[in-house]
Structure 1
Amino acid sequence: MYSFLNSTHSLNTRLNLFVASVKKLYPEIIGIAVTRIDEHDNLYSVYRSPDYGDNFPTFISSISQSPRLNKIRASLEPSIIDNMLSHQSSVKQIHLRLLQSNCISSMACPIYSNDIFIGVLFINAKVKDFFSEKINYFTTFSILISLLIADNFNNKKSFHSIVKTVLLLSHHRDPETQNHLKRVAEYSRLIGLYLAKKGKCNGDFVDSVYHFSDMHDIGKSLIPEDILYSTKIYTDEERAVMNQHPELGCQLLSNILTTFKYDNNQELDIILNIIRHHHERYDGNGYPYKLKGTDIPLEARIVTVADVIDALLSHRPYKQPWSIDDVELYLINGSGTLFDPLCIDAILYSLDKITLIQKRYPDVIEETAPL
């Protein structure tokens, strides 16, 4: 009954066990869905019970358009729909999909960590008035689920903080600023969410790529400074040393993981794939393994595009930022050779959001004060 509390299980396994135990008590329950919120006010599902099939939406655009969800975010209080058949929703399409899974009543609860709203838990049942009659039980149920989610969220943040320390050390004189890493994470999530809409991945994958994309260049901390910070064109020997940073990064991260006993294998694979393969090219002419096309892990293909976009749009000691039009043309010309065409489609679809992210996380260019 309480095996869902076993922290050695993955979050999805723990949630599956929890839902199964509750369905034994209340077979009217269809299941739950856990969503996270992104920087653009959108919800995306990071977990949903198997019984939903494909009917629970992967992506809910702009919760501000839903009075119910917007109220939950503002109040941090649950919301109950007793009969979805008679509920007038501003997001009718979503409710129609849920009705196809026989969801008649619904309870939506805020998920928050340290009083910060991070998503919504949805619980659905096959009969009307189900949650109103059992409000105390399912309020407790939602709190336990939220604790599992928040615990996973905080564990991920704690691990991230450990690696961030290494990143800060490796970037203390690097022209690629911390806001560069933040922008790469945001661009990666934009691409991931677009691919999720196309059925190429799920929200849990998108969330992991978002959290771990900024680790892609961690191996640079082991590159000699005279090479890492050089503004000159590399010699062949220097380029060969620099090209070792993906493998060096994997070795460094593996040592960190061993020290801190981080054992989420699914996330570990994503992290290591991002670090090892973010310099592969779609046509097979990248490094270190010359992987081609979809042999390159999707997470690496996503981060490759996100990293290149930000490098082109950013000021560097050796270059001025490109215009968004020039970057767009470069991406189009590189689609299918340098980059995964689907990832390029995702960015072209979201160019307006690229500009917003740039403005939200600008680089601070340090100027030398006059003598």
Structure 2
Amino acid sequence: MELKISDNLTLKQKLDHLNTLIQDWYPDYVGFAIAMLDNDNNLYSVYRSQGYGVKFPDFIEAIHKSSRLSTLRETRSPDIIDDMTCHLPSIKHIHQTLIRKSCLSSMATPIYNKNDEFVGIMFINARIPYFFRQNLNFFNTISLIASLFINDDLNVKRSFHNIIKTILLISHHKDPETQNHLKRVAEYSRLIALYLGKRKLCNGHFIDAVYHYADMHDIGKYMIPDEILFSTNIYTPEERQIMNEHPELGYQLILKTLKQWGGITDDNLKIILNIIRHHHERFDGDGFPLKLKGEDIPLEARIVTVADVTDALLSHRPYKKPWPLSDVIKYLQEGSGKQFDPLCVEAITKNMAKASQIQNQYPDHLTDNAIKSTG
């Protein structure tokens, strides 16, 4: 079997193909998993081959608490456990599970991005002891290939994101303050998604995608006439109706852009378009544009809805001062199950201290013509 990878495959499809190739060559190989690093030095799973087992944790908290993982990060070299049975009885629960599955040796390799920054770890398991000592060069190559796939996926996201950022920068020339609003919404969205990821409600790829694409949610606003978009007066019913068209306008704009660009995979495309089109839906079904209800609203949109409103409440606007944290929490909780997904509300309210840190890290630079409808 040859390694033939098409550019239009998703990251999962590429890694699945790589996993199948290894299985064909090495019967004692079990599978591999890949975890990426978040801002708090924790690892979250972005891929797990079918043979690796469902017991691999979706979230590994605080990498610095694990001597193995911190050493791996510092040495930049593979870390190999030749025989897991030698670690009993102090061995961790995850390794005990692997031993029961006849996975007796393990190899972990660091993943770096194009800027030589540590971004994750690849874990590989085998059924026999000392497997990786005997096949080290091959599996070093495999980890390099997997790293290239990971980096390629990141680069595609960043390339498309840079295109959209250019559009946003041009659109925001009258409103520089909004740039930090978008950055904060992305950070809050990742905060919420990570919380849900810990509860196995989404995977690492989803978390990454939501973070990269959350700040595109309002791109349709910049197809709204300036006299409405930048108005500081209360909207008339007619003006509000025009403003409420921005999710559908943004959806159509990005759909056309993506068709012309052609560099984004279907799974990313779906997340981007769902965020743009559905971030004003309400959990009770009274939102727009499609009046979706509950879990019929895509999870990515439910996350961005809470992140967007949270930032609007915490931020200064020409027509209001920032709300105290206690009032923001109260508002979100009162809207839980009505305007907002209860789990997303739980996620942000339990992490409000981190949300406050994000707010301070990316402060507003106010102008007199800030968009009143942000949020």
Q: TM-score range by the shorter chain?
A: over 0.9
How far residue 180 of structure 1 moved from its aligned partner, in angstroms, is: 1.8
Counterpart CA distance in 1 for 2:59 and 2:268 is: 21
CA contact (8 A) 1:58 1:202 kept: yes
CA contact (8 A) 1:30 1:125 kept: yes
Query: What residue number does 2:372 align with?
Result: none
SS at match of 1:250: helix
Instruction: Tell me whether 1:170 sits opposite 2:165 in the alignment.
Output: no
* TM-score, length of structure 1 as denominator length: 0.93
Query: What residue number does 1:68 align with?
Result: 68
Counterpart CA distance in 1 for 2:226 and 2:294 is: 33
Query: What residue number does 1:102 align with?
Result: 102
Query: What residue number does 2:201 align with?
Result: 200
Q: Which amino acid aligns with 2:13?
A: T
Query: What residue number does 1:238 align with?
Result: 239
CA contact (8 A) 1:106 1:124 kept: yes
Matches within 5 A, 1:347-362: 347-362=348-363
* TM-score, length of structure 2 as denominator length: 0.92
> Alignment RMSD, CA only?
2.1
SS at match of 1:36: strand
How far residue 309 of structure 1 moved from its aligned partner, in angstroms, is: 0.5
What is the count of residue pairs matched by the alignment?
A: 368
SS at match of 2:45: strand
SS at match of 1:211: helix
How far residue 91 of structure 1 moved from its aligned partner, in angstroms, is: 8.7
How far residue 358 of structure 1 moved from its aligned partner, in angstroms, is: 2.0
CA contact (8 A) 1:55 1:100 kept: no
Tell which deviates more after alignment, 358-367 or 184-193.
Answer: 358-367
How far residue 263 of structure 1 moved from its aligned partner, in angstroms, is: 4.3
SS at match of 1:262: coil
How far residue 88 of structure 1 moved from its aligned partner, in angstroms, is: 8.1
Q: Deviations over 1:261-286 (max 9, x none)?
A: 13411111111110000000101111
Query: What residue number does 2:371 align with?
Result: none
Counterpart CA distance in 1 for 2:295 and 2:208 is: 21
Q: Which amino acid aligns with 2:282?
A: R
SS at match of 1:12: helix
Counterpart CA distance in 1 for 2:360 and 2:68 is: 30
How far residue 247 of structure 1 moved from its aligned partner, in angstroms, is: 0.7
Counterpart CA distance in 2 for 1:236 and 1:96 is: 63
Matches within 5 A, 1:264-275: 264-275=265-276
Percent of aligned pairs with the same residue?
55
Q: Deviations over 1:174-220 (max 9, x none)?
A: 36532222221121122112222222222211211111111101111
Tell me: CA distance 1:102–1:352, structure 2 relative to 1, closer, same or farther (3 Å).
farther
Query: What residue number does 1:210 align with?
Result: 211
Counterpart CA distance in 2 for 1:101 and 1:192 is: 31
Q: Which amino acid aligns with 1:15?
A: L
CA contact (8 A) 1:3 1:14 kept: no
Query: What residue number does 2:315 align with?
Result: 314
Query: What residue number does 1:42 align with?
Result: 42
Matches within 5 A, 1:1-16: 1-16=1-16
Query: What residue number does 2:84 align with?
Result: 84
Instruction: Tell me whether 1:128 sits opposite 2:129 in the alignment.
Output: yes
CA contact (8 A) 1:4 1:15 kept: no
CA contact (8 A) 2:177 2:367 kept: no
Q: Which amino acid aligns with 1:168?
A: L
CA contact (8 A) 2:156 2:263 kept: no
Tell me: CA distance 1:51–1:96, structure 2 relative to 1, closer, same or farther (3 Å).
same
Q: Which amino acid aligns with 1:119?
A: G
SS at match of 1:85: helix
Tell which deviates more after alignment, 248-257 or 97-106.
Answer: 97-106
Matches within 5 A, 1:140-179: 140-174=141-175, 176-179=177-180
Tell which deviates more after alignment, 7-16 or 85-94.
Answer: 85-94
SS at match of 2:288: coil
Q: Which amino acid aligns with 1:65?
A: K
Q: Which amino acid aligns with 1:253?
A: I
Counterpart CA distance in 1 for 2:57 and 2:164 is: 33
CA contact (8 A) 2:313 2:328 kept: yes
Q: Which amino acid aligns with 2:59?
A: F
Tell me: CA distance 1:86–1:362, structure 2 relative to 1, closer, same or farther (3 Å).
farther
Gaps of 5+ in 2: 369-375
